[in-house]
Amino acid sequence: MTAVIDFYFDFSSPYGYLAAQRIEALASTHGRRVDWHPVLLGVIFKETGAVPLTQVPIKGDYSRRDMVRSARYHGIDDFRMPSRFPIPTQAAARIVLALKAEDVALSTRVAKALYRAYFAEDVDISDADAAADIASGAGADRDRARAAVDDPAVKDALRDEVARAVARGVCGSPFFIVDGEPFWGLDRLPQLDRWLASGPY
Amino acid sequence: MTAVIDFYFDFSSPYGYLAAQRIEALASTHGRRVDWHPVLLGVIFKETGAVPLTQVPIKGDYSRRDMVRSARYHGIDDFRMPSRFPIPTQAAARIVLALKAEDVALSTRVAKALYRAYFAEDVDISDADAAADIASGAGADRDRARAAVDDPAVKDALRDEVARAVARGVCGSPFFIVDGEPFWGLDRLPQLDRWLASGPY
């Protein structure tokens, strides 16, 4: 059994999107599988007292500049800040979580498609119908995906998933946990890479 | 004339200390000089609404772990979290700023010595006498250094320096500005390095 890299992300997180473009390649270099966990930063921010970075005085301007520069630095050419930002991400997260219970590979494909739709194609995936369309384009059953958004059991499952993330110390997006070691941020991928290559340091 | 790298830091910033161990080598690779600017995060945090990272729920635990791991990752073996943290850094900042008006090279040596005293030798440099002792050990006149801490003109100069930093968008420590481009954080040194190597990207 291959130990996993737990990858926590919010669909409205620019650095999460950029990390999502890199984590699979990094994982496969080390023979690891990535477990994609959509979470809700709004809930996590209530625990940490944070507000969205782009809305903070001074840091907001810096972070918008840093996001597009970081995309260029990492060679991710399709990134652009969506016209509506940030957005609620319950719809996308519920679709991915519902699919995950049935077909992990499909769920991951749908997660990537949703992320790309928002951060590369400027699709507002907070809209349940738009999110279901994207899921369908990635191979999911459209009606099944659309129904997941309003399904009380899926809502509960997402609430539990976010609570588990908070309990594990997830304080932002992207956030990775490998063999019990936490790594927060796109900029921690080099440290994560070294951890996987050489073990604890 | 060589264009400078403006390096803004607070003497109580762990990531600032780690960056201080790396920035001179990075700069010299690109034929640049580093201009060391001690600032006060407390003042900057009033602008951004931030609180010290280690005091934030969940993030606090993560950040303490990340600080020591980041030190090991960068091969900075002498780093350890001081027993008193964070501390007021006016005394150290005023000494460095006063010296800078007379002898830039000496001021930089003293800045490095103060940083090392706090983060490697657990000296509480918020104490004006302790800070003056460290400055003296790095080659400064002890009485001159000690007097700077209470000098109204130096206090004003530091206040102005911090205000200028805020006006330039400095929102944390370490923070670098190169040819008008801002870089925030130890983890942005690779992006800064590429900027210096290949120009804007």
What is this model's ipTM? 0.92
**Average pLDDT for chain B:** 96
Query: Which residue in B56, B171, B201 is closest to A49 by CB distance?
Result: B56
pLDDT of A28 reads: 96
Interface membership of A46 toward B (CB under 8 Å): no
Q: Is the pLDDT of residue B46 over 70?
A: yes
pLDDT (0 to 100) of residue B2: 65
Q: Check the CA dihedral B121-B124-B126-B131 and report its sign.
A: negative
Residue B150 in this model has a pLDDT that exceeds 60? yes
Q: In this complex, do A50 and B56 lie within 8 Å of one another by their Cβ atoms?
A: yes
Give the contacts of B90 (CB within 8 A, at least 6 positions apart).
Answer: B40, B126, B149, B155, B158
pLDDT digits (tens, 9 = 90+) for A136-174: 999 999 999 999 999 999 999 999 999 999 999 999 999
Residues of chain B with C-beta less than 8 angstroms from the C-beta of A57: 47-49
> Based on the number of CB atoms within 10 Å of its own CB, is A177 exposed (0-12), middle (13-18) or buried (19 or more)?
buried
Read off the pLDDT of each residue in B137-162 and give the average, rounded to a whole number: 98
Give contacts of A44 with chain B, Cβ < 8 Å.
58
Residue range B38-54: mean pLDDT, rounded: 92
Q: Looking at residue A107, what is its pLDDT? A: 98
**Domain count within chain B:** 1
Residue A63 CA to chain centroid, in angstroms? Answer: 18
CB-based contact, B198 to chain A, within 8 Å: no
Closest to A173 (Cα-Cα) out of A20, A61, A4, A68 = A20
Domain extent for A186: 4-198
Burial of A75 (0-12, 13-18, 19+ CB in 10 A): exposed
**What percent of chain B shows pLDDT beyond 70?**
99
Q: Is the pLDDT of residue B144 over 90?
A: yes
The angle at the Cα of B155, spanning B149 to B157, to the nearest 5 degrees, equals 125
Residue A51 confidence (pLDDT): 87
Q: Which portions of chain A are predicted below pLDDT 50?
A: 1
From A58, A61, A182, residue closest to B62, measured CB to CB: A182
Q: What is the structure's pLDDT at B189? A: 97
CB pairs under 8 A between A and B: 76
CA B34 to chain centre: 12
Burial code (b: 16+ CB inside 10 Å, e: under 16) for A47-63 equals ebebeebbebebbbebb
Q: What is residue B178's predicted lDDT score, i.e. its pLDDT? A: 96
Contact predicate A149/A95, CB 8 Å: yes
Q: Is residue B177 very low, low, confident or very high in pLDDT (cuts 50, 70, 90)? A: very high
d(CA A181, CA A162): 18
pTM: 0.95
Element of type H or E holding A112: helix A104-119
With vertex at residue A18, the alpha carbon angle to CA A14 and CA A23, rounded to the nearest 5 degrees, is: 135
Query: What angle, 0 to 180 degrees and rounded to 10, lies between the N-to-C axes of helices B152-167 and B142-150?
Result: 70
Q: pLDDT for B71-126, tens place per residue? A: 999 999 999 999 999 999 999 999 999 999 999 999 999 999 999 999 999 999 99
R_g of chain A computed on alpha carbons:
16
The reported pLDDT for the residue numbered A2 is 65
Predicted local distance difference test score (pLDDT) of residue A141: 98
Q: Is the pLDDT of residue B127 over 80?
A: yes
Using DSSP bridges, classify how beta strands B33-38 and B4-9 pair: parallel, antiparallel or unpaired: parallel
CATH of the domain at A44: 3.40.30.10
Indicate the pLDDT class of residue B51, thresholds 50, 70 and 90. confident
Minimal CA separation from A123 to chain B, in Å: 26
Indicate the residue of B49, B61, B69 with minimum beta-carbon distance to A56.
B49
pLDDT of residue A3: 86
